[in-house]
Structure 1
Amino acid sequence: MIHLYKNNGYNLCLDVNSGSVHVVDELVYDVLQELADGKNGDAAAAALSGKYEAEDIREALEECGELREQGMLFTEDIYRDSIDRFKDRPTVVKALCLHIAHDCNLACRYCFAEEGEYHGRRALMSYEVGKQALDFLIENSGNRRNLEVDFFGGEPTMNWQVVKDLVRYGREQEKQYGKNFRFTLTTNGVLLNDEIMEFCNREMGNVVLSIDGRPEVHNRMRPFRNGKGSYDLIVPKYQKFAESRHQDKYYVRGTFTHYNLDFAKDVLHLADLGFKQISIEPVVAPPTEDYAIREEDLPVICEQYDILAKEMVKREKEGRGFNFFHFMIDLTGGPCVYKRLSGCGSGGEYLAVTPWGDLYPCHQFVGNEKFLLGNVKDGVIRKDLVEEFKEVNVYSKPECSQCFARFYCSGGCAANSYNFTGSVNDVYQIGCVMQRKRVECALMIKAALAKEQPEFTAESCETCAECE
């Protein structure tokens, strides 16, 4: 299976199963199109005989044949038959999303957590519950050494002392059990101060700083409860924080909605503020919400990704580049095969913990009692749900199994699938369109910035130390 497309003046061919990317001229592009349509060499040559010279067509066909023999074109899918082996692997928990605070000091309009309440009540996680959560993670992590804990909310800095106490406890357990905790923090920035930043710079492997872009965009969707915008308060703090982390191991992370479909301007606004690590995500909301993204918005959104990709190439060549999360693709290694097939691991490897210790498949399922897995004291009770989530992979969904982006998307978000289709093992179609466009733009950027590398080959491992 190959995917042919044109973007920003480049003719690109992705060989889906090998991950090889080829930048080709018009002749080879047309030859590949004929071959992809099922024609053999002679039939392809005949179809193109009125457009190109016979000798040129013959040479192009020979080049394509050589690439096929080298395993870089029209390669077979070697992973489909081995998916059962991945599904049958013992479940080990490697990451927890700790809802350290079901409370928030902002009133973001699109918040799926209902200002931190998650369809329930406001609460702060106690130190004791947090300890039990870390103990649960260690106990259920098997031989895996590297473990991740994200302090999430609501707004986690509203329970800051418990965050610090849990980090200290985790560091103590590392020595005893031979584990390594990677702590992260997601914050709206309202309570950020020098003490919090200094602590994060010592202890947090990554920080996510929420901001939606231009002042008018951010303030419309992320106000205080009194309606006042939060942009002016948080931007100077974020700029200081990013610099203190040497413009690395952080993201300014925003959400675009129906009201700012020109979101490329928001990404570039953040870049102009000096941020080098940027993520702007599409809002996921039911179509009844006025800010929801609709199918008719997709052409504009795809155009915005093109605009952004071209500008990123330009800025990179000018020496003022930045990273955009959805355009970051590693063509030399990338995620291991297991991640490419099954995604984030929600419901098994990755779990969310409420302030009172309940376990859910991920933060987006919290509050939906149908997906209550158990608690940190007694462990996972709903083994059937764990097995249901383990069945989710790129081959269990017909749309994914035929999609060129499947090894970059890994099947999409289970929560989005459930919220829009009623099943965790389906797809959110609007999200699929955006994901495919992002992959195309990301590959174009790689092509545009390549110096002497006409072909890129992605090598995937069967397993890796990170997965063990």
Structure 2
Amino acid sequence: MSATMHKFKRLGLNIVVDPVSGAIHVVDDVVYDVLDYYENHSREEIVNLLKDKYKEEDILEAISEVDELKGNGLLFTEDIYKDIAISRADSVIKAMCLNVAHDCNLRCKYCFASTGNFKGGRKLMDFETGRKAIDFLIKSSGKRRNIEIDFFGGEPLLNFEVVKQLVEYGKQKAKENKKNIKFTITTNAVLLDDEKIEYFNENFSNVVLSLDGRKEVNDQMRVRADGSGTYDVIVPKIQKFVKARGKKEYYVRGTFTAKNLDFVEDVLHIADLGVYEISVEPVVEKDDKDYTLKEEHLDRIFEEYDRLAEEYIRRYEEGRPFAFYHFKIDLKGGPCIKKRLQGCGAGFEYIAVTPDEEIYPCHQFVGIEEFKLGTLDEGITNIELQRKFMESDIYKREECANCWARFYCSGGCFANNYNINGDINKPYKLACEMQKRRIENAIAIKAYLTLRGEKGDYQRVQRDKAANR
């Protein structure tokens, strides 16, 4: 299929994507089939190829429709961005992952952080280190007003008192420097209680809580040091948090593996617990383990994403909506071209800081010595590494340069690429294929609801309704 056009069928619709302009078209069967031949065949040849299926006048009309879309820059649009030099010289550090705990009260089997210690000693960040990290972020953010700090681990609630001290310090320094700091936190919810729920709701713009889904699925992977499961402990706490959270941002995030390829059941299970904001992600594992996702699983995974899209629509129409992270897509605005070409900004817009005051490009690179950028005292000293992240974009990756989804995924995750292929610029093929299927379904859902007459931010409206139930 042409790299300048992508088409697929989903939710009963024929959908055509023009990657460069971002235009999305819902077309009839004739136009859909004409597109297979449009670029490389004459009008007469196309008519001859399709005459046994459609009337000649219908084929010619469809060709004219495609001509018009192309003429208006809405289909087969030339990629004008590949020859544009995108400078990141003006980039500043605007977000920090603060690893306040290199320790955890769980021993999740798929943990990228080696069950919380990041391949090092188990330790908690002290206030002084956190204070220096916040000062570093404020100084490194330049003139940017809005910055972010995500408290991460391990399990950050093992160090809750320091978290609270750092939030107060951050607020004070933000005021002094005319900054606005958004605080977020990621937790496994085991230590969640009424005090922490209240504190989260007063101080954190977003909260991410971990749950893999059904009890038997969750307790197979998310276990304590003694091997016991966590479902029965955390589910009531998550439900209480969600009810208290109201309309404020949060996610309940899970991971699916080869052990639960029917992961749609886990998404729906979480939704049935009263959770609205859900993200269930594929595990990333290079080694051949019993839970590793492999290419042979892709057809089943695609079926599940398609089934989830259908269930998403069905529940929406029944007044029982839920939001799935990967089905959210902005077709009108979205990231600027710099973000579309380069992605997350790891290493030059986003960093992670450890209890030992070390700086890494992101939390998933922590503990890998070759990715150490510097320290809080010395600053970023590995300029060559930072430049490597800064200069990476989709056109430097052959697999991305001609991919229809390149402006939606921005080349995928640096860390996943490295963990699987040993190179931040060599895309992780399995993740690419899954991402493209998710993007297709996100576009299909948006198209379906638009044709139905939904206007505005329907996801926000439904979220607010859910919060008020």
TM-score, normalised on structure 1? 0.94
- 1:7 aligns to what? 10
Aligned to 2:467: none
Structure 1: distance between partners of 2:178 and 2:18: 41
Contact persistence 2:285–2:420 (CA under 8 A): no
The one of the two structures with greater contact order (alpha-carbon pairs below 8 A, sep at least 6) is 1
For residues 452 and 328 of structure 2, the distance between their equivalents in structure 1, rounded to whole angstroms, comes to 20
Show the counterpart of 1:445: 445
Matches within 5 A, 1:12-161: 12-36=15-39, 38-82=40-84, 84-86=85-87, 88-161=88-161
Q: Secondary structure at the match of 1:356?
A: coil
Q: Match for residue 283 of structure 1?
A: 283
AA in 2 matched with 1:159: N
Decide which moves more: 281-290 or 406-415.
281-290
What's the offset of the Cα at 1:45?
Answer: 2.9
Offset at residue 362 of structure 1 (A): 0.8
> Deviations for 1:210-258, whole angstroms, at most 9, x for unmatched residues?
0000000001101111111111111111111112121540000000011
Question: Counterpart amino acid of 1:239?
Answer: Q
Unmatched 5+ stretches in structure 1: 457-468
**C-alpha distance in 2 between matches for 1:440 and 1:228:** 38
Q: Which amino acid aligns with 1:189?
A: A
Deviation at 1:89, TM superposition (A): 2.6
Name the CA distance, whole Å, in 1 between partners of 2:78 and 2:173.
46
- CA distance in structure 2 between the partners assigned to 1:404 and 1:149 by the alignment: 33
Distance 1:143 1:453 in 2: 42
For 1:362 and 1:334, locate their aligned partners in 2 and report how far apart those are by CA, in whole Å.
23
Counterpart position of 1:466: none
State how far apart, in whole Å, the 2-side matches of 1:388 and 1:41 are: 47
In 1, Cα distance between equivalents of 2:23 and 2:243: 36
Q: Counterparts in 2 of 1:44-443, with a 5 A limit?
A: 44-82=46-84, 84-86=85-87, 88-443=88-443
Identity, in percent, stands at: 52
Which digits, 9 at most, give the CA deviation of each residue in 1:300-333, with x for residues without a partner?
1111101111110111111111110011111111
SS in 2 for 1:68: helix
**Superposition deviation, residue 453 in structure 1:** 6.9
| SS of corresponding position for 2:37 | helix
Confirm or deny: 8 A CA contact 1:251 1:277 kept in the other structure: yes
User: Partner amino acid for 2:97?
Assistant: C
Write the distance in 1 (CA, Å) between the matches of 2:94 and 2:42.
48
In structure 1, what is the Cα distance between the partners aligned to 2:169 and 2:93? 19
- For 1:425-454, what per-residue CA distance to the aligned partner results, in whole angstroms no more than 9, with x for missing partners? 110011111011111111111122223679
Alpha-carbon distance in structure 2 between the residues aligned to 1:418 and 1:289: 19
Q: Residue 157 of structure 1: CA displacement?
A: 0.5
For residues 321 and 453 of structure 1, the distance between their equivalents in structure 2, rounded to whole angstroms, comes to 17
Q: CA deviation at 1:339?
A: 1.3
Deviations 1:53-86 (A, max 9, x none): 222122212222222222211112122122x223
Residue 44 (structure 1) shift: 2.5
Identify unmatched segments of 5+ residues in structure 2: 457-469
* CA RMSD, 1 decimal: 1.5
Rounded Cα–Cα distance in structure 1 between residues aligned with 2:272 and 2:158 = 30
**Corresponding residue SS for 1:165:** helix
- 1:240 alignment partner, SS class: helix
The number of equivalent residue pairs is 452
Alpha-carbon contact 2:207-2:251 (below 8 Å) kept: yes
- Distance change >3 Å, CA 289–CA 452, structure 1 → 2: closer
- 1:460 is aligned to none
Farther off after superposition, 47-56 or 147-156: 47-56
Moved over 4 A (4+): none
Could you say what secondary structure the match of 1:334 adopts?
Answer: coil
Q: Distance in 2 between matches of 1:378 and 1:354?
A: 14
SS in 2 for 1:151: strand
Distance 1:196 1:59, change over 3 A: same
Deviations 1:14-54 (A, max 9, x none): 01111111111110101122114x22434323322332222
Q: Is the partner of 1:22 in helix, strand or coil?
A: strand
TM-score by length of 2: 0.94
Distance 1:71 1:453, change over 3 A: farther
Contact 2:417 2:428 in 1 (8 A): yes
**Structure 2 CA distance, aligned partners of 1:40 and 1:105?**
66
Shift of 1:119: 0.6
Question: 1:380 & 1:192 partners in 2: Cα distance?
Answer: 35
Aligned to 1:81, the other structure's residue is in SS state coil
Distance of 1:104 and 1:368 partners within structure 2: 19
Deviation at 1:282? 0.4
Alpha-carbon deviations, 1:309-362, whole Å to 9, x = none?
Answer: 111011111111111001111111112221111011111111111111100111
| 3-state SS of 1:80 partner | coil
Kindly indicate whether the alpha-carbon contact (under 8 Å) linking 1:214 and 1:269 is maintained by their aligned counterparts in 2: yes
Does the CA contact (< 8 Å) of 1:68 and 1:75 recur in 2?
yes
Residues 166, 195 of structure 1: alpha-carbon distance in 2 compared, 3 angstrom cutoff: same
